[in-house]
């Protein structure tokens, strides 16, 4: 079943941390959404792959996604190989999304970097009629890179206002008790002394402040964003 918006990331919980608000906002607007987790989390320090699977399913229900699938690629050993691309191409073709959210190409965890490149390559290859993988050819219209928690000197191309979705985003993150209860950092999120949930709140409030709203999620696109109505542009300049 095709979805409008698909989020792809290395680990279960990555999507919740970086773009759950945007997935919820799309769902609220009547669009269908989906998630691909590339790995099952078998190499994680906390919890087990089985437990993380149950947590991910509960989070997916809260996010209202049409389907959440796992690529079963090796956690902490993710590689952008022919074999891995074939697996991801088949999943992209399955979801046939118009827009795909990928991890930002720079990351502390090597899986995050590889997931970005592997996801982008698979989105391209999925459109090749003669690429040797299952499913019908489909190339997504647009790729968005989730920029949350990155400190690299790139300005977000845009920030999505998730003020109305923020409480539900936090509920989806709280599904991962095995990962986050008592935690003070995770993935790309560095510790500040706060517990992780309050740290996520601080970060999302910061992104929101960039567009003069309570909470936001930042994204980057390679291509320039087209605007048709400059008079309606939000975000006070002075």
Residues near Zn ion (CB under 5 A): 10-11, 14, 187
Question: CB-wise, 11 or 25, nearer to Zn ion?
Answer: 11
Question: CB-wise, 45 or 236, nearer to Zn ion?
Answer: 45
Nearest 5°: the CA angle 163, 172, 35 is: 100
Question: CB-wise, 14 or 161, nearer to Zn ion?
Answer: 14
Lookup: tokens for 127: 């459109």
Q: How far apart are CA 178 and CA 139, in angstroms?
A: 36
CB 51, min distance to Zn ion, A = 16
Q: Do residues 2 and 28 make contact, with C-beta atoms less than 8 angstroms apart?
A: no
Burial 64-102 (b: 16+ CB within 10 A, else e): ebbebebbebebeebebeeebbebbbebbbbbbbebbbb
Question: CB-wise, 47 or 187, nearer to Zn ion?
Answer: 187
The residue with its CB nearest to Zn ion is 11
CB 14, min distance to Zn ion, A = 4
CB 128, min distance to Zn ion, A = 29
Question: CB-wise, 10 or 19, nearer to Zn ion?
Answer: 10
CB 126, min distance to Zn ion, A = 23
CB 186, min distance to Zn ion, A = 8
Sign, Cα dihedral of 36, 156, 28, 228: negative
Adjacent-strand bridge partners of 68: 35
Nearest of 160, 140, 137 to residue 22 by alpha carbon: 160
Question: CB-wise, 119 or 213, nearer to Zn ion?
Answer: 119
CB 41, min distance to Zn ion, A = 9
Q: Do residues 101 and 92 make contact, with C-beta atoms less than 8 angstroms apart?
A: no
């Amino acid at each position: 079943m095709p979805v409008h918006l698909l989020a792809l990331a290395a680990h279960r919980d990555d999507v919740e941390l970086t773009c759950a608000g945007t997935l919820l906002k799309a769902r609220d607007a009547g669009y269908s959404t989906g998630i691909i987790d590339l790995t099952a989390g078998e190499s994680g320090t906390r919890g087990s792959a089985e437990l993380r699977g149950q947590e991910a399913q509960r989070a997916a229900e809260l996010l209202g996604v049409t389907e959440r699938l796992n690529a079963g690629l090796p956690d902490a050993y993710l590689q952008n190989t022919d074999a891995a691309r074939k697996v991801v191409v088949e999943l992209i073709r399955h979801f046939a999304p118009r827009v795909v959210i990928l991890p930002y190409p720079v990351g502390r965890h090597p899986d995050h970097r590889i997931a970005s490149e592997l996801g982008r390559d698979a989105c391209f290859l999925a459109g090749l009629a003669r690429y040797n993988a299952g499913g019908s050819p489909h190339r997504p219209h647009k790729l968005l890179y989730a920029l949350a928690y990155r400190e690299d000197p790139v300005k977000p191309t845009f920030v999505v206002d998730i003020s109305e979705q923020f409480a539900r985003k936090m509920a989806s993150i709280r599904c991962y008790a095995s990962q986050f209860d008592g935690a003070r950092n995770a993935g790309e999120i560095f510790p500040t002394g706060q517990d992780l949930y309050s740290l996520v709140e601080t970060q999302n409030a910061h992104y929101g402040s960039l567009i003069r709203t309570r909470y936001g999620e930042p994204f980057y696109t390679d291509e320039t964003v087209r605007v048709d109505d400059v008079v309606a542009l939000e975000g006070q300049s002075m």
